[in-house]
Amino acid sequence: MSSLFEKRLKPRLCALVLLIISMAMATNRCFAQPLSSSNVRSRAVSVSLSAKLRSEVRLSSSEVQIETAVIDPSRPSKIVRVNVKSSWVVAAGTSKLALTGFFTSAEEALTDGSGHRIPATHVLGGVDGERMRPFTEQTPTNGSLTLFQQRISASNVASTREDAINLQLAPIADLGLPAAKYYGTLNLRLISY
């Protein structure tokens, strides 16, 4: 079949194509007039494009391991400092972001491994330069604390910030707990509203 095409149909097809091109050139319809002087007219139309931006928020760490020594239960512990980087790309309707810290158990935020438990109400936290407060909020869980709120505007729908979070144990003598090393995990969540 391919030899039939090669011998008889291919030359005829080429001749037909050449004939069509030469007729078009002869009538001066396709190649002679530039487009700017042709009779083609169109009206202007508006085109509207829209895209939904998928919000994304990230933290450099979602869990912070805390280890602190209580030397004198009647005094606050030393401050533990944790650096956290937050980054986000959020939709234009987002009004704020909040960094929240929380413990898995409000009754057992930290422990010494010997059965002594420090509740979240005796753990203080805050962003560097701000007053430290206890983890007593109820959202997203008991034993939570909003560490910062960031307003969102058109100028910062995509941005980052770095914060130093300070953590400290309040005096634990009122709980009857001894001087010891206490351990726990602080969970961090960046939430957009």
Q: What angle do CA 55, 96, 133 make, to 5 degrees?
A: 125
- Amino acid 18 reads L
**CA–CA dist 113, 182 (Å, integer):** 8
**Residue 40 binned pLDDT confidence (cut-offs 50, 70, 90):** low
pLDDT for position 122: 98
Contact residues for 34 (Cβ-Cβ < 8 A; gap 6+) = none
Mean pLDDT, the chain, whole residue set: 86
Domains in the chain: ranges and CATH? 2-37 (no CATH), 56-192 (2.60.40)
Residue in this structure with the two tokens 């010997």, named with its chain if needed: 114
Coil vs helix vs strand at 81: strand
**Residue 85 binned pLDDT confidence (cut-offs 50, 70, 90):** very high
* Percent of all residues in the chain with a pLDDT value above 90, rounded to a whole number: 67
**Residue 44 binned pLDDT confidence (cut-offs 50, 70, 90):** confident
* Tens of pLDDT, residues 93-151: 899 999 999 999 999 999 999 999 999 999 999 999 899 999 999 987 889 999 999 99
**Measured CA distances, 151 to 61, 123, 129, 154 (Å):** 22, 27, 18, 10
**122 within 8 A of 145, measured Cβ to Cβ:** no
**Measured CA distances, 25 to 19, 40, 44, 188 (Å):** 10, 19, 31, 74
